[in-house]
Amino acid sequence: MTTQTEKMLRFDDQVVLVTGASRGLGRAYADLFSQRGAILVENDLDIVEPPEPETTQSQLASTSKKFAIAGSAIDGGALVERVLALTGRIDSLVLNAGFLRDRSFAKASEAELHELLDVHLMGPWRAAKAAWPAMVKQGFGRIIFTTSPAGLYGGFGQSAYSAAKAGLIGLTRTLAIEGEKHGILVNCVAPLAASRLSMGVLPPPIAERLPPESIAALVAFLCHPSCTTSGQVYEAAGGTIARQIMHRNLGLHLGQIPNLEAVRDAWQAINDASQGEDLVSSTDALLRFVSRWPDASHLGVNV
Ligand SMILES: NC(=O)c1ccc[n+]([C@@H]2O[C@H](COP(=O)([O-])OP(=O)(O)OC[C@H]3O[C@@H](n4cnc5c(N)ncnc54)[C@H](O)[C@@H]3O)[C@@H](O)[C@H]2O)c1
């Protein structure tokens, strides 16, 4: 008979980097990975690094299962190089560090856009880029990017944050396609949880029902070797987990070069969402357009 312990998912010998691990969601993720046996590398701006001799490969071989790297996750490449120097491998990247700027578009500045692109998009891109060759060599890797409902749907005061967070969705889908043959799975989470970041954004009676710990199992499962899912975006809040679906309505073929009035007259049908299809890649999206052409079968397109 299988015992509960045998069924438990563990991360023994797996090196997991969690950025933004000092508090909030990152803290909850780090704790769960630690409890399940991972060799955890935490990063945060305000993290305290232990003295140098405690963070060597020989130390890892004996007892150390926890490493701390101070500094900005914007330097994702340098961060991953440190992880590789400390542990010799990297299995999972949980790219979670970040902050919010809440300002209407009329008042938002380009400097803020750069700040948010740096922390939410550039840092994770650099970390993934630096880890990629090691993951390809290992034939194994898990990358978790962190988007937001504001990145998916938009939100008042979130123009720069939304732009940065939405960039991660395209990055997730493309890296999932490129990583497939190397055993690298890439997914994205859009959490909602009470934290320093969301304080003042979430109404208090709802916030108290949204502990950061409620997101941790999703993130850990996506990193586990037994998970085979890639290229997906999951939303999670207070114990509910849902998959974001890239869905396009059937649309309408109006001839190769539709005229302006034809677009006007077909506007309702163009927007009709009663039927649609899920898309898995840009090639899939193109082929489905081609399949609407009257002569699609002559082109050998059949989706
Ligand atoms: N809390 C939510 O409801 C919510 C919603 C959508 C998205 N998110 C995203 O989840 C992630 C975590 O947010 P949280 O709610 O736990 O916020 P939080 O403020 O509680 O924690 C974020 C952590 O990231 C660290 N950090 C910020 N910039 C950093 C940098 N440059 N380098 C290293 N560490 C840095 C902070 O010091 C902090 O410890 C963020 O990417 C955020 O955008 C959160």
Would residue 234 show up in a list of annotated catalytic residues for this protein?
no
Per-residue pLDDT of the chain (303 residues; tens, 9 = 90+): 445 556 899 999 999 999 999 999 999 999 999 999 999 999 999 998 887 655 555 555 445 699 999 999 999 999 999 999 999 999 999 999 999 999 999 999 999 999 999 999 999 999 999 999 999 999 999 999 999 999 999 999 999 999 999 999 999 999 999 999 999 999 999 999 999 999 988 899 999 999 999 999 999 999 999 999 999 999 999 999 999 999 999 999 999 999 999 999 999 999 999 999 999 899 999 999 998 888 888 887 776
Q: Whose CA is nearest to atom 11 of ligand 1?
A: 96
| Spacing, Cα 89 to ligand 1 middle (Å) | 25
**In testing the pocket of ligand 1, which one of 83, 93, 195, 209 has its CB within 8 Å of the most ligand atoms?**
195
Verify whether ligand 1 is closer than 6 Å to residue 25 (CB atom).
yes
Q: Whose CA is nearest to atom 28 of ligand 1?
A: 98
Instruction: Match 């009676």 to its residue by tokens.
Output: 205
Verify whether ligand 1 is closer than 6 Å to residue 192 (CB atom).
yes
Q: Note the pLDDT of residue 62.
A: 47
Atom of ligand 1 minimally distant from the CA of 202: 3
* Integer Cα distance of 145 and 166 in angstroms: 11
**In terms of Cα–Cα distance, which of 65, 69, 87 is closest to 131?**
87
Q: 171-220, pLDDT tens digit by residue?
A: 999 999 999 999 999 999 999 999 999 998 889 999 999 999 999 999 99
Q: Note the pLDDT of residue 5.
A: 59
| Spacing, Cα 100 to ligand 1 middle (Å) | 8
User: β-strands 276-278, 247-249: how paired?
Assistant: antiparallel
Which neighbouring-strand residues pair with 70?
44
Instruction: Match 């990017």 to its residue by tokens.
Output: 145
| Spacing, Cα 132 to ligand 1 middle (Å) | 23
| Spacing, Cα 51 to ligand 1 middle (Å) | 26
Spatial contact of 90 and 39, defined as CB atoms under 8 Å apart: no
SS3 sequence of 102-120:
CECCCCCCHHHHHHHHHHH
* Integer Cα distance of 210 and 127 in angstroms: 29
Question: Distances in Å between the alpha carbon of 277 and those of 171, 210, 281, 300?
Answer: 21, 32, 12, 20
Q: Note the pLDDT of residue 52.
A: 64
* Integer Cα distance of 7 and 4 in angstroms: 5
Q: 36-64, pLDDT tens digit by residue?
A: 999 999 999 999 888 765 555 555 544 56
**In testing the pocket of ligand 1, which one of 17, 148, 197 has its CB within 8 Å of the most ligand atoms?**
197
Atom of ligand 1 minimally distant from the CA of 25: 16
The H or E element spanning position 33 is helix 24-35
Verify whether ligand 1 is closer than 6 Å to residue 44 (CB atom).
yes
Q: Note the pLDDT of residue 50.
A: 80
The H or E element spanning position 207 is helix 204-207
**Phi, psi (degrees; rounded to nearest 5) at 23:** -155, 175
Which neighbouring-strand residues pair with 76?
none
